[in-house]
Structure 1
């Protein structure tokens, strides 16, 4: 971590060079001074400021050798400091898989190292550090930071106050470790149960409900001085294709878009959203060219800028995703995105190709420097609003005082308790009593855990139930249990008083369905807990009790355990409808459905 003297000297140098002084977050940055700064920048510096890039390693200057090798292979530099020196990047995105997020104190050191490396460059501009901290199934910063319920769980809770509290807590902790832009909340309205990429990352299927929760989270994040990002414009909620691997097409009419997809984005704009992320989807009713929205001037300039009146930062989704690479090469994508109205170019697969392509487009006259200056002004305004010019560094003391503190952890548990949804309770079977059912078997799917969970979901749930007075044993059966695995689970159930089954996206042909059926056939009480999509219940007609937890993170599994044990009431209500398995045109459980113990 830089010394206090280095920090103060660098920060003073930036303030003097820019003559910006202290810019309060709620104030209006001085455009005249920002334009003066832009006028002194070279073309390579301007182009670099438009890119937000990944980089491997836990340190800006001394990453592990494996991370140095990965950086050399993918980017052609050894470290984050070299990345900044060569390409003048204006933003860096943190990923768990890039080894950026080991623990909060390390992240703070990395953030300070990145800022120091950039501030020591001739132009001395601070870096806007970002990440995807949606909570629920998408988290980059894990425990001991506070992990909160994901969007659909919050939708099941239905509390705008909880959504705002979530944004405030998450924002305070992100800011403490140097992350000033979060790619959250998801503003997509998930109307397609087959959606493979959004699903529980959405607040739900009702546009107005989603809009209210989106606006509340925006207020929470931005009140904590972290830029929120509504995504994925113009709406990714009705796809059956994952844009990471394919090119989805949205078939909504313009009228449907106005009444459904647009509503949360309008709410985010009214709430003063700092940034909006584009979707790599084709939306013929909005642009019939066949281009993805990320590269569409009619969508980004015509609709987002001109019709919706948005003048904040527009950031692409990752440019390494297949949805944006299907039609054009990696050299054309960044140029076309800028021509469409984008400001920040996120994570291109080959930065050198993308960076040089933008430089060449300006030199050839396809793009003007004036066009780049428009985006630079928006980006620098945001950096000034976030006080990056006069307060670019964070402190280890601030991490200790803010990240994962007891008050935040307790609030996360309280929010989660209001989200668990009881869908089936024949008998009623629930709540279970440790006196009547002392021995529990916890089986089920153990998908790859989001960052920060303490172990496989079966183990986390078993530990939570044991802490509540049961004796719970965990047995992982996976997302596609074999006949032999099912037989082991059935045999283990003979020694249990009740069985808890964690299910993960059950389909008509998935062997998880067979597992639940055979466990139910033993005559033992069986409780299914859907640990991702709530639609599992439609495939489990024989199960006597079923809960929707909406995620397999610790906070949501602990809440489900407390509901199972009767320590709290199930309060969640479905934020999406569940269709019948035998006739998807008919609704089995409507929006707002949820049982209680009363």
Structure 2
């Protein structure tokens, strides 16, 4: 326990009387903890979802999960330390609504304000709805080799989140994606190169924290980059040796710690070289306390990945997981599948002596210290009118597009088809589309092209025969048959991978290939500029395309 000693001058100190001992004044965080009940302390350890657009919205989901009707009642019942927002919980609709919800929840929280969070990684994991500014995801920033872009992404995203009362973001991803078959990380990682991943991780953290004043979280420790199993649905095993872990996985987390990361999120993965017990890292004291606290020297807040995920539930029941996570050294328990079960399990563990109240205090102290650091203990309500002005402002959108314009990578241009001559040409855009972002529609409008969203090879080929050039979007190799059919038409085609860049390995015969690492509107607009020669392709592969192109490969050409 740290104390602050305040010395008072006495008459003895002035030489005119007997000496009086200095008076020790408790640190304000320690004083706050001393006034908290055990249930209030345990509540600070939990961050979870609530359902409803306002703090007083009744939802059957709240009733079913928590036994009370409104978000405010959930916060009050469990003395929650944090709330996490998702679109599917009704939390994220528009700037004014989000700001109002945040204010209502903070009022319900009482004397200790909430950490309010969301996953705004950008790219394929984007939670904030329009008009929030969209930036490219991590791997696109890796392709641009753009530390300043990573910082600006954090700074502007953080400013928009802060405007709506969100003070914590579950980003950036610090995993080093060295496995092309990784089903859950992929383009959410900056790179397969630990140094590049570390540089961009650190810069984005600084953007969030120094630039915008919200807490960032490097994830997923000890590194989720070399797995072919999704920890949402299974328990991945990563067989890196200790030396490989130190060389490949650890550097971005070291960089995050050096950048002052407020929180680090654990992964539900097994790494036998770090802990041979078979326990997932989230529940592993050798990994959380031994490696993260000990070897890497991290002193900030450690948060679990969602406890609803299968990876952390395979070996132990939902009543044991939160207790074991705390024993491992975790501070914040994110999204338990049954909050009541988890809360009571921690209470029982303290009552039985499995966990001491001092251990609970240790995590609460870290959580409250972070809240104090970010100004939350003297909470200022969000201004809904200001949120409307700040979120998606014209200046923010211009910056995001400028950052994204540097990310498109031209991998192959063997037929010298690019840049396209658009005048007098009939252009077709087809293949995979995201209805959420109207991927094909945005690209077609930018190109002045016809959009034919289809997964049917014959339909795509028929459309291509009536056009001069076809741009086909590929997502995770799902369009192999479609691309093969387009190649039989004899018409020029441009294949663009709009998620992982590895699709080319399954597309023999493709002579023109680009990758955008994302499919939101900013990426499609940047792609259109590259295709038509408005801007040159500047991206370099931040990962290798196995058997074809090395890390760092990328073509460029002049502008028209």
What TM-score bracket applies, with the shorter chain setting the length?
over 0.9
Report deviation, 1:56: 1.2
* Equivalent pair of 1:361/1:367 in contact (CA under 8 Å): yes
SS at the partner of 1:311?
coil
TM-score (norm 2): 0.94
1:391-540 equivalence runs, <5 A: 391-437=379-425, 439-447=426-434, 449=436, 453=437, 455=438, 457-466=439-448, 472-477=449-454, 481=455, 485-506=456-477, 512-540=479-507
* Equivalent pair of 2:177/2:226 in contact (CA under 8 Å): yes
Q: Which is worse superposed, 239-248 or 440-449?
A: 440-449
* Equivalent pair of 1:145/1:404 in contact (CA under 8 Å): yes
SS at the partner of 1:179?
coil
TM-score (norm 1): 0.88
* Equivalent pair of 1:525/1:544 in contact (CA under 8 Å): no
Report deviation, 1:415: 0.6
Distance 1:448 1:40 in 2: 51
Q: Does 1:597 align with 2:557?
A: yes
Distance 1:74 1:117 in 2: 18
Q: Which is worse superposed, 513-522 or 42-51?
A: 513-522
Cα offsets for 1:147-202 (capped at 9, x unmatched): 10000000000011111111111111111111111000000000000000000000
Report deviation, 1:359: 0.6
Cα RMSD, aligned residues only = 1.2
1:9 alignment partner in structure 2: none
Q: Does 1:115 align with 2:106?
A: yes
Cα offsets for 1:72-94 (capped at 9, x unmatched): 12222211111012111110000
Cα offsets for 1:91-143 (capped at 9, x unmatched): 00001111110111111111011001112xxxx21000011000000011021
Report deviation, 1:447: 4.2
Report deviation, 1:277: 0.1
* Equivalent pair of 2:175/2:249 in contact (CA under 8 Å): yes
Report deviation, 1:597: 1.4
Report deviation, 1:440: 1.4
Cα offsets for 1:433-467 (capped at 9, x unmatched): 22142x21111112463xxx3x2x2222112222x
1:215 alignment partner in structure 2: 202
Cα offsets for 1:346-378 (capped at 9, x unmatched): 000000000000011101111011001010011
Distance 1:513 1:557 in 2: 21
Equivalent residues, number: 533
Distance 2:549 2:53 in 1: 46
* Equivalent pair of 1:421/1:547 in contact (CA under 8 Å): yes
Q: Does 1:97 align with 2:84?
A: no
Q: 2:188 aligns with which of 201, 212, 226?
A: 201
SS at the partner of 2:378?
coil
Distance 2:507 2:401 in 1: 28
Q: Does 1:367 align with 2:334?
A: no
SS at the partner of 1:59?
coil
SS at the partner of 2:484?
helix
SS at the partner of 2:452?
strand
1:157-306 equivalence runs, <5 A: 157-223=144-210, 224-306=212-294
2:71 alignment partner in structure 1: 80
Q: Does 1:56 align with 2:51?
A: yes
Q: Does 1:576 align with 2:553?
A: no
Structure 2: which 5+ residue stretches go unaligned? 1-24
